């Protein structure tokens, strides 16, 4: 994806980092894992995770206070959270739990029922009634212009964030050097996942187990699947053209097919030892990541803990 021109109607959505990503990160390096260093880095990361939500809340409150201080009283609606797809949560080599697969498959039918909420139209509020010029004035006050941003290049892509407006002012006060913060935030938030994903794709034992899973699925009447993600996508296709309002028999038929392929997926995963192979590869990659980035994660912890104190001070709490 790419950084598009900032639009007034979506100003608050850009409080999150706008990222341009490739399929992988820059090289994770070849440093040998050091258990002591990895433990120190993990400890720092745990502390960060314990305060990150609090820091995010402080940041949002301070940005809103900054905007209110400038006389803005009408704000755009917050973007709705989008459900994360399972294939983004799990690497390509992870199969479902057998008991859950036999009961609900991949849970697609449950997600389909929940999707009915998406059809409810959102109400037009005060923000939608504002003139375009006023919306643009709000956006500029909040995040500046498109060229007022800092960017971190992590090898196969870039992540950017505004440095102007209330957003930039608040972030500078909380984190200091915004470019350095952007780099550390990427390392702490995304780098480990990228490293573990790459390990799951390239580890010889994972590849061996995946090939075994492929053969097992073919024998189970599901040829041509390369990974468990492909099995999940095949199950999703059973629901094409269906909705929560479709005939019960059609929905039941789709669910039965989903349960059947998910069960085969889980059984073949167990037979091939795929989940264990992925877990072992990921554990090794994570230890290497923690060792390599110990200093970065310790520095990030210092910034985040400082941001809590600074944010509370700025809010007078």
pLDDT at 37: 94
- Predicted confidence (pLDDT) per residue in 247-262, tens digit: 999 999 999 999 999 9
Annotate the chain with three-state secondary structure: CCCCCCCHHHHHHHHCCEEECCCCCCCCCCCCCCHHHHHHHHHHHHHHHHHHHHHHHHHHHHHHHHHHHCCCCCCCCCCCCCCCCHHHHCCCCCCCCHHHHHHHCCCHHHHHHHHHHHHCCCCCCHHHHCCHHHHHHHHHHHHCCCCCEEEEECCCCEEEEECCHHHHHHHHHHHCCHHHHHHHHHHHHHHHHHHHHHHHHHCHHHHHHHHHHHHHHHHCCCCCCCCHHHHHHHHHHCCCCCCCCCCHHHHHHHHHHHHHHHHHHHHHHHHHCHHHHHHHHHHHHHHHHHHHCHHHHHHHHHHHHHHHHHHHHHHCC
Asked if the structure places residue 250 within a domain, the reply is yes
pLDDT at 80: 54
> To the nearest whole percent, how much of the chain has pLDDT over 90?
64
For residue 79, pLDDT beyond 50: yes
- Domain of residue 198 covers 41-75+92-112+126-315
- Does residue 306 contact residue 54 with C-beta atoms inside 8 Å? no
For residue 78, pLDDT beyond 50: yes
- How many other C-beta atoms are found inside a 10 Å radius of the C-beta of residue 243? 13
Mean pLDDT, residues 94-106 = 91
Count of structural domains, the chain: 1
Asked if the structure places residue 33 within a domain, the reply is no
Asked if the structure places residue 15 within a domain, the reply is no
pLDDT at 93: 63
* Neighbour-count burial of 204, counting CB atoms closer than 10 A to its CB (0-12 exposed, 13-18 middle, 19+ buried): exposed
Query: Six-digit token pair at 112?
Result: 């389909």
For residue 113, pLDDT beyond 80: no
Asked if the structure places residue 279 within a domain, the reply is yes
> To the nearest whole percent, how much of the chain has pLDDT over 70?
81
Mean pLDDT, residues 312-317 = 85
pLDDT at 92: 55
How far out from the chain centre does Cα 120 lie? Answer: 25
Asked if the structure places residue 4 within a domain, the reply is no
Query: For the ranges 92-96, 179-183, 274-278, which has the lowest average pLDDT?
Result: 92-96
- Predicted confidence (pLDDT) per residue in 171-205, tens digit: 999 999 999 999 999 999 888 888 888 888 889 99
Mean pLDDT of the chain: 83
Mean pLDDT, residues 34-56 = 93
Name the range with the highest mean pLDDT among 3-17, 151-165, 300-314. Answer: 300-314
- Predicted confidence (pLDDT) per residue in 118-153, tens digit: 444 444 578 888 999 999 999 999 999 999 999 999
pLDDT at 244: 85
pLDDT at 218: 97
Asked if the structure places residue 119 within a domain, the reply is no
For residue 85, pLDDT beyond 80: no
- Does residue 163 contact residue 144 with C-beta atoms inside 8 Å? yes
pLDDT at 199: 80
For residue 86, pLDDT beyond 70: no
Asked if the structure places residue 10 within a domain, the reply is no
Asked if the structure places residue 19 within a domain, the reply is no
Query: For the ranges 23-32, 56-65, 162-171, 291-300, which has the lowest average pLDDT?
Result: 23-32
Block residue for tokens 């059609």: 250
Higher pLDDT, 160 or 81: 160
Higher pLDDT, 84 or 247: 247
- How many other C-beta atoms are found inside a 10 Å radius of the C-beta of residue 135? 19
Which of these, 20, 22, 11, 10, lies nearest to 198 by C-alpha position?
22
Mean pLDDT, residues 72-94 = 63
Distances in Å between the alpha carbon of 152 and those of 8, 148, 186, 235? Answer: 24, 14, 9, 38
Structure confidence at residue 29 as a pLDDT band (50, 70, 90): very low
pLDDT at 123: 43
């Amino acid at each position: 994806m790419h950084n598009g021109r900032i639009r007034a109607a979506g100003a608050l959505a850009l409080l999150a980092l706008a990222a341009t990503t490739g399929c992988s990160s820059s090289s994770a390096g070849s440093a040998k894992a050091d258990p002591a260093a990895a433990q120190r880095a993990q400890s720092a990361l745990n502390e960060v995770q314990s305060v990150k939500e609090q820091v995010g809340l402080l940041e949002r409150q301070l940005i809103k206070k900054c905007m209110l201080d400038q006389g803005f009283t009408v704000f755009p609606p917050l973007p709705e959270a989008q459900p994360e797809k399972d294939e983004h949560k799990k690497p390509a080599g992870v199969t479902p739990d057998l008991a859950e697969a036999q009961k609900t498959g991949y849970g697609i039918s449950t997600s389909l029922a929940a999707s009915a909420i998406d059809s409810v139209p959102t109400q037009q509020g005060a923000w939608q009634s504002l003139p375009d010029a006023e919306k643009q004035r709000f956006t500029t006050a909040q995040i500046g212009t498109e060229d007022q941003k800092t960017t971190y290049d992590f090898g196969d892509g870039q992540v950017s964030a505004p440095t102007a407006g209330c957003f930039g002012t608040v972030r500078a006060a909380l984190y200091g050097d915004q470019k350095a913060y952007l780099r550390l935030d990427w390392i702490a938030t995304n780098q480990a996942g990228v490293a573990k994903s790459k390990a799951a794709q390239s580890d010889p034992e994972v590849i061996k187990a995946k090939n075994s899973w492929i053969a097992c699925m073919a024998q189970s009447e599901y040829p041509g699947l390369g990974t468990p993600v492909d099995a999940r996508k095949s199950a999703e296709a059973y629901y094409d053209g269906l909705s929560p309002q479709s005939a019960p028999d059609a929905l039941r038929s789709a669910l039965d097919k989903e349960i059947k392929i998910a069960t085969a997926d889980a059984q073949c995963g167990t037979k091939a030892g795929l989940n264990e192979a992925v877990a072992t590869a990921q554990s090794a990659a994570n230890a290497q990541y923690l060792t390599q980035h110990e200093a970065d994660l310790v520095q990030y912890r210092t910034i985040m803990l400082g941001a809590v104190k600074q944010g509370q001070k700025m809010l007078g709490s």
